[in-house]
Chains A and B, each alone.
Chain A
Amino acid sequence: MKSQAVDHLALLPLYAAAGTAVLALLVDLFLARRAAVVAVTLFGTAATAAGALIAGAGDGTFCTTGGCSWTPTWPAAVTAALFAALTAGVLGLSIPTLRLGAAPAGEFCFLLACSMTGGVTVAYAGDLLTLVVGLETLTLPLYILVGLRRYAPTDRPSIRPAEASLTFYLISVVSTAIALLGMALIYAATGAVHLNLLAPAPAPFTALGGVGASLLVIGLAFKVAAVPLHAWAPTTYDGAPIPIAAYLSTASKLGGVLALAAVVAHLDTGAVLSALAVLTMTVGNLAALRQTRMVRLLAWSSIAQAGYILAALALGAPGVPAALAYAVFFVILEFVAFSVVAALRPAKRVAREAVALAASVPADTDGGILDDYRGLAHQHRWVGAAMILALSGLAGLPPGLAGLFAKVTVVGTLVARGWTWLAVIVVVNAVIALAYYVRVAALLYTRPSTPGIPIINPALLHEITHPRFPVPRPVTVTLLIASAFAILLGFAPQLLFNAFS
């Protein structure tokens, strides 16, 4: 028996990602300096992205007859680079928290890099097993990251992070089990695990293969928080630190979308997916309308956005490029939105509010309620502008051109393939969604309400009661880079379409 030839160049991004994780751990062990660990991890993410783009597309490796387990294509390279970029971004948003010692830097960076390794694997996966291993590697570190929070002796510990972590863990395990069962049934019916060999099962196993495909899709739908498998998302996002919520809503969701895209391109799951899509976008948007907490609102909006992606995926293979393009546009805009939340809610502000609320009220989570954001754009003009960019993009309107092109891509693909009814539901949802996006955007620019008693100098009073908290520099840099990406893709979306065509 001949051993498989391994193309190490094609595995470069995976080596870089896994190396980053190991390096972060070693640096923490031997240098024990926070700055060094963070620097090494950032360097590792850059190396991973560069590795993915340099290796580019090529022949697969780990091949047996008919299929390869590692398939370097341009969509894979671009999404792997995106995973690396999101990891770097989340690390950038976390630096202020790490400086405060609210989480151990070494473990944090290691876990984040592990998650990135999983993301890279998902991007390149050529068979179902690699795919599920990648997805689990992507998700597993997040169970810990969601709940990883050290409390100072003066802090009043909250159980919210632990609650979030446990919810996420339980739901995720169940979903993985369902996905694995689906894979097993598909394997039983068709004998195939390689993605390019997947096909509807021949008689007499057609029904078995269909059930397997449906179970697999449902299992993966948990990962993208599709309704009715979404209930974990708002709780988990809200309990997690903001950067980790950003990671869950971007990288983790992107992983789920990639996995779904890989599966639906070869199996006929249109019925299940279109039902999930309709439910997901409608319920997500309607629930988002009623939210009063910022992170929960973003969580529900991110559920709704997943619905648009699922709508494109319901088309099967023809919808995959549109779904991937939408996912990338969405992920970048969503990341900008979470970065703005991180910028406007520095640890100092949160700590101050906790003091003001006193011990009788349970300590609020990091995102705060919507009213905490009132008028903040007047204090931070550029951060406000970034939020307008992100929210308008998520609503699919200029100036968020990236989001507009994303919507046009999905709706155009649906119309072109004759799924006009689904396109109609997508655009109706876009209208509903605008209602809460403009509410948040307008709130940022609302003038503060005047106190009921006469005040000689209301402006002075407002300054005293609403002190200006500077945005931490790493967060500013992250926000700048993410916004620059969003603007660039808004004006040159063709770059992305070229990669995915």
Chain B
Amino acid sequence: MYRDYLEPAWGLPQVLLLALLAVPLLGAAVVALLPAARDRQARLVATGFATVTFLLALAPAFGFRDQIFGWFDYGDGSTVPLFPWVEVDLEWVPALGLDLHLGVDGISYPLIVLTGLLTALCCAYTVKKVPDGGAGRALAALLLVLEFGVLGTFLALDLLLFFLFFEVVLLPMYAVIAGWGGPARRAAARKFVLYTLAGSVLLLLGILTVVTRSGTGDLVALTGAPLIGRDVQCAAFALLAVAFAIKAPLWPLHTWLPDAHTEAPTVGSVLLAGVMLKMGTYGLIRVGVGVAPLGAAWAAPVLGVLAVVAIIAGALICLRQTDLKRLIAYSSVGHMGFVLLGIATLSVTGLQAALLGNIAHGLITGLLFFLAGTIKDRTGTGSLNQLSGLRETAPRLAGLFGFAAIASLGLPGLAGFWGEAFAVIAAVQRGGPLWLTLAVVAAVGGALTAAYFLRLLRRLTHGLPTPEIRAMPSGITGVEWLAWAPLVLLTLAVGVVPALITGATLQPLTTLLGVDW
């Protein structure tokens, strides 16, 4: 294979790539070791480390790419292999076939930047506001460990390494929910950790099935190359799909999500919705579809139907929901349904829609959880029955909330629109009665999304202010602006120029799908 003739390059790009993982981990260690008397400084230090990580995450797009030689004509009709922009490949545990193989390409790059951004914003948010429960610096350190795990998952180009990073986030997230969460945090955290571990052991089984049958865990070698037979692909994809469906989450495996979100502290909810759910959808694209395309084709109708059920179920539940954070959590189920519908179509359009939907959901739902958390913190309640008339007392907050809700319901021109619209278009393009039906139902689900968000806005922002709303401080502090403004601006930017996300995805996606040019 062509790649075998490449000298393993060692230069600035590789160092920066390793630094991208090393900095948050180092930061977590430093922050955790600072004494209790320096709690605030520790949180500032954490923000500094998170900011450096964010800058490192941006780096691959600015000239720190490896030289790409352009396309090669293989002449044997096989597809072009994956070309990560930057790549590091070190041997770690040869006995298990585990390599420290990391890389960035068009599929993972937007998610890496999103992770860097959201973690930095969350760390900055903790400087001002530490939820009750434990020390602020411990929370900040855990956020950095979470970032390390999520970034590693998006960077991993080795199946076992992917699994390892996938597991890294499990216990820190448990600790964040159980340590800093709401009144029912213990049960919610336990449900979260057991549910997601159940998913990740299936992932382990699926990955080991692939690795033992193909003899390699290298995603670059596995992607688009038929190393394993159809039957094994189907079995592996079934395992992987269930594993990622729990993480994403896909109906009917979503039941851990509302509890976890409702009980988690604001920063925990933001990271959980903003980036950790994406580990599921990203995994489904990169590992599920990439490694077992035939299995994916076999399971696509089931996945599509479940995705559409998720859209409808999420919307219907949201229409009846009276808890603010729970409502946003269930809206995630619907949004992830659109993402999964896009993936299920197994077309370039659909996968691009899924990637767009991923990023848009991360930005918008991150913002929504920030706002909902602030409202809940200030009024002491998350019940919509006790919250109304927000625009009377806190017009700025109400305006921001309105913006986020409208972005989330998919107004054209804002980030949420593209992913959902193109998921439906991809399903229509796929053709056939099944996919047409799915497209129609998904579109109806989109309308229901609008319905429940408008209902939410009517109840929350309009009407007469309740005593809780009257009593709440209305201003928005500097730190809050700092944490929210980037999300608002990016929601607009992605809405206007979706190519920001999809620009570099065409080549890796065609490789992934194994389609001819």
Contact = CB atoms under 8 A, between A and B. Distances in A.
Given A412-B96, A431-B198, A438 B204 contact: no
A408 interface: yes
Nearest to A385: B32
Contacts of B95: 409, 493-494, 497-498, 501
B93 A434 contact: no
B208 A411 contact: yes
Interface in A46-81: none
Nearest to B135: A378
B142 to A, nearest CB: 12
Nearest to B195: A431
A423 B178 CA distance: 30
A434 B96 contact: no
Contact of B171 (A397, A401, A430): A397
B388 to A, nearest CB: 34
B208 A415 contact: yes
Contacts of A415: 205, 208-209, 212
Interface in B155-202: 160, 163-164, 167-168, 170-171, 174-175, 178-179, 186, 189-190, 193-194, 197-198, 201-202
B160 A408 contact: yes
Contacts of A427: 201-202, 204-205
Contacts of A423: 205, 208
Residue in A408, A497, A501 whose Cβ sees the most chain B Cβ within 10 Å: A408
A445 interface: yes
Contacts of A435: 190, 194
B94 interface: yes
Given A392-B171, A397-B167, A397-B170, A430 B197 contact: yes
A497 B205 CA distance: 21
Given A412-B208, A427-B202, A445 B174 contact: no
Contacts of B134: 445
Contacts of B160: 408
A220 B248 CA distance: 45
A167 to B, nearest CB: 34
Interface residues of B, number: 33
Nearest to A496: B95
B194 A434 contact: yes
Nearest to A439: B190
Interface in A417-461: 420, 423-424, 427-428, 430-431, 434-435, 438, 442, 445
A442 B209 CA distance: 34
A247 interface: no
A202 interface: no
B96 A409 contact: yes
Interface string A361-389: 00000000000000000000000000010
Nearest to A400: B171
Contacts of B175: 445
Contacts of A5: none
Contacts of A497: 93-96
Contacts of A416: 208, 212
B201 A428 contact: yes
A404 to B, nearest CB: 7
A110 interface: no
Given A427-B201, A430-B201, A438-B174, A412 B93 contact: no
B171 A420 contact: no
Interface of A: 388, 392, 397-399, 401, 404-405, 407-409, 411-412, 415-416, 420, 423-424, 427-428, 430-431, 434-435, 438, 442, 445, 493-494, 497-498, 501
Given A431-B194, A445-B134, A497-B93, 5 more contacts: A397-B167, A397-B197, A415-B205, A435-B194, A438-B193
7 contacts: A397-B167, A415-B208, A416-B208, A427-B202, A445-B179, A494-B95, A497-B96
